[in-house]
Amino acid sequence: DIQMTQSPSSVSASVGDRVTITCRASQGISRWLAWYQQKPGKAPKLLIYAASDLQSGVPSRFSGSGSGTDFTLTISSLQPEDFATYYCQQGISFPITFGQGTRLEIK
Amino acid sequence: QLQLQESGPGLVKPSETLSLTCTVSGGSISSSSYNWGWIRQSPGKGLEWIGNIFHSGSTSYNPSLKSRVTISVDTSKNRFSLKVSSVTAADTAVYYCVRHYGSGFDYWGQGVLVTVSS
């Protein structure tokens, strides 16, 4: 199985800050990576697919980059509605696996 | 707008079989462009992929659950189903049905909490 490791596990930030979350795969996954946002009591929401493609309807302050084993999700200017948990997920091989999540909290 | 809705018992006894159905509306489950699957999330934990059913009808399951899981599709009713046999408390989770497209899961049901308890 491909292991996905996110860092940090949690981060505190303020509205307007720039935040970067990283995700590392245990082996190369090309650009077969997706990012999700999950708010309490809600289903995850797809933000980014194919490492850097923005899902329709997702604000442009979200961006993704990387290929191979190292990936990043960046939020350029945090908004109040962005405080949530973020997950990465590899889709190159089965079993599909997720990172453990990064909790983004208000400072 | 595509919508997915899970349904099924919220309480299952240990050793019994968990059965859930996902009804798809606003689009055809038979489209060759998409695959369908199930993901679960134990309370306070991360996301675990359970398995997929492909437009061909073939399936792929997480090895951690493989011997206990069956995913099937009913195209006439535009829905697909999940069965997990011999459940234990470790199977207590919110279960999501999803559409799989490319590298990610672009549509999710709202999720249903299934508790395993006697």
Judged against a pLDDT cut of 90, whether residue A107 lies above it is answered with: no
User: Is B104–A98 a contact, with Cβ atoms under 8 angstroms apart?
Assistant: no
Q: What distance in Å separates residue B44's CA from the closest CA in chain A?
A: 10
Nearest CB among B47, B62, B111 relative to A87 is that of B47
User: Is A89–B63 a contact, with Cβ atoms under 8 angstroms apart?
Assistant: no
Rounded CA-CA distance B62/B51 in Å is: 6
Q: What distance in Å separates residue A16's CA from the closest CA in chain B?
A: 27
Amino acid at B71: I
Q: Which of B81, B37, B44, B27 is nearest to B61 (CA)?
A: B37
Judged against a pLDDT cut of 80, whether residue A36 lies above it is answered with: yes
pLDDT tens digits for B29-68?
A: 998 889 999 999 999 899 999 999 998 889 999 999 979 9
Q: What distance in Å separates residue B22's CA from the closest CA in chain A?
A: 14
Rounded CA-CA distance A93/A89 in Å is: 11
Average pLDDT value over all residues in chain A:
97
- Please report the pLDDT score of residue B33 as a whole number: 87
- Please report the pLDDT score of residue B44 as a whole number: 86
